[in-house]
Amino acid sequence: MTDERTTPERPPVWVADDDAERGGALAARLIGCAQVQATGCAQADALRRLAAGERPAAIVLSMDSIDVAAVRQVVSAGPEVPLVVVAEGEGGDAILRAGAEEYLRRARVDDDLLRQALRYAVDRRGARRALRQRTRLLGEIVDSMHECLLVCDPQGRLVLANRAARLFGERNGLIHFESMEALLQRLALFDEDGREVPLDERPLAAALGGRETTDRVVRVEAPQGRAWLRISARPLRESGDELLGAFTIFRDISEARAADERVARLNAELEGRVAARTAALAATNRELEAFSYAVSHDLREPLRALEGFSLALLEDYGERLEGDGELYVRRIRAATERLNARIDALLKLSRVTRGPLNREVVDLGALTERIVESLQVRDPERVVEATIGEGLEAVADPALAAIVVENLVDNAWKFTRGRSPAHIEVGRSEAGFFVRDDGAGFPQSFAEKVFGAFTRYHTEREFEGTGIGLTTVKRIVHRHGGQVWVESAEGTGTTVYFTWGGDAA
């Protein structure tokens, strides 16, 4: 039974009544007073259609007398469909408990009451559906939390434990508890200092007493394990300050705690190693200072004697020396001079590894200009074209930076002796600063060896020197946190690259 005045898009209201005439009359009243589409059907037909998946806007179940079993059948078949029961007799509470939204006594039903009851039933069932959806969504959110959540009522009965809390309980033998008191009695809580926390001071118990706890770290000993937890808890209150219960949120921080302890142990070990190495370095520096003193004083004395007596031998007895005698004495003097030079080089090398670094902006270009000028004064006959690039500022110790540039430019000047004109370039590239020459060079396979003390590719007859210059350069650059390397080819020249670590300007 339908009415063309109703809105066809909305599902109809079913009036289920085994009395077809009475059901049709009630449907007609609904069409007139509630402005809805309504149809009449038998109760069995309504149950069959619900089982088939049809869903009306609402069901008005019309009966001769109260039949709770029939109400439960309809509610079971369509739990989400609003249900209004119209019958005769007392017992409306039983009808409502069975799942109906409204109960109307047939003798008292007028159009207004019927319309209001239907509207209330639809609204109430919609509100319940929305509440269920929100509750389910909230439950999914709570269960997705990594933190454990427990909620209890004012009497301490646990009413909610999220998935993380349930898993924590299963791991630690805490799966059979119904109240906070039973739970707490199976746990032992200790502060970080090892003091056991009394029952009334534990976070959830304190929250039921009206006290909040924030990020308290405790050690928990449970029947099947122990763990470190970070716990917060607070009471739940109504606006009128009525206590509704309490909740606690906690996280198992055992792994993080163990990691922190490992880091602390490693730091302690590292500090011990640093202290040991610092002590060893201090001892080494003392030994180096003693060695430097011995070199500069104890070794110099016999060398001075050897140099002085050999000179006296040449001056006073040179005419009496026969054969190769004078040549041997001169070789002794030359070897003495070389040894003195090497001692001076070693002392300079030892000094560059001691003392603090006084970093400031240094213009390597200006340093290069002064060094080239002094070399040109020393060797005025040389024809050398020196190219000095722009932007050669670096953050370094000025004295040590000068030693680096002086050693590298002096090497370039020395090893280009066979060129005329010779070319020397000091500049900067993406790789770092560089000093390049077109001199004698050496095989690239020898590039790492040139930084060793007294290591030479060319003989002293070819090119003079102590073999300590590049060793000094490497020590200074490494002290600044930088790197130094060489690219060379025999007969075409050498390029020495160097950086000053992260402090390059």
Total domains present in the chain: 4
Same domain for 126 and 168, yes or no, is no
Same domain for 202 and 240, yes or no, is yes
Beta pairing partners, 428: 433
**pLDDT number for residue 461:** 73
CATH for 316? 1.10.287
d(CA 470, CA 476): 10
Same domain for 478 and 393, yes or no, is yes
| pTM of the model as a whole | 0.43
Report how many helices (DSSP H) and strands (DSSP E) the chain contains, helices first.
14, 18
**pLDDT number for residue 226:** 81
Same domain for 486 and 378, yes or no, is yes
CATH for 222? 3.30.450.20
Same domain for 214 and 269, yes or no, is no
Same domain for 216 and 267, yes or no, is no
Q: Which helix (H) or strand (E) holds 478?
A: helix 469-479
B/e letters for 392-404, b = 16+ CB within 10 Å, e = fewer, are bebbbbeebbbbb
d(CA 113, CA 105): 11
Write the CB contacts of 53 (distance below 8 Å, at least 6 apart in sequence).
none
d(CA 479, CA 466): 22
**pLDDT number for residue 458:** 75
Same domain for 383 and 444, yes or no, is yes
**Domain range for residue 278?**
260-352
| 3 in any annotated domain | no
**pLDDT number for residue 240:** 66
**pLDDT number for residue 285:** 67
| 239 in any annotated domain | yes
Same domain for 47 and 159, yes or no, is no
| 461 in any annotated domain | yes
| 141 in any annotated domain | no
51 token code pair? 């089982």
Beta pairing partners, 179: 157
Same domain for 484 and 456, yes or no, is yes
CB-side exposure of 20: number of CA atoms within 13 Å?
A: 2
Classify strands 83-88 and 38-41 as parallel, antiparallel or unpaired: unpaired
Same domain for 394 and 492, yes or no, is yes
Beta pairing partners, 228: 219
Same domain for 365 and 497, yes or no, is yes
DSSP characters over 118-151: HHHHHHHHHHHHHHHHHHHHHHHHHHH-SSEEEE
Give the count of beta carbons closer than 10 Å to the beta carbon of residue 9. 6
If the chain, 505 residues long, is cut into consecutive pieces of 10 residues, what is the mean pLDDT of each piece?
46 87 84 78 91 90 89 91 88 88 86 83 81 84 87 86 84 64 75 87 86 90 82 85 87 88 92 88 71 64 76 78 78 76 66 74 92 89 90 89 89 88 92 91 86 75 75 88 91 91 57
CATH for 123? 3.40.50.2300
Last residue of a domain, one of 134, 161, 194: 134
* Share in percent of the chain as helix, strand, coil (round to 5): 50, 20, 30
| 103 in any annotated domain | yes
Last residue of a domain, one of 301, 324, 352: 352
CB 60 within 8 A of CB 16: yes
Same domain for 239 and 292, yes or no, is no
| 323 in any annotated domain | yes
Place of tokens 């070794």: 299
| 48 in any annotated domain | yes
| 143 in any annotated domain | no
Last residue of a domain, one of 104, 134, 164: 134
CATH for 469? 3.30.565.10
**pLDDT number for residue 232:** 92
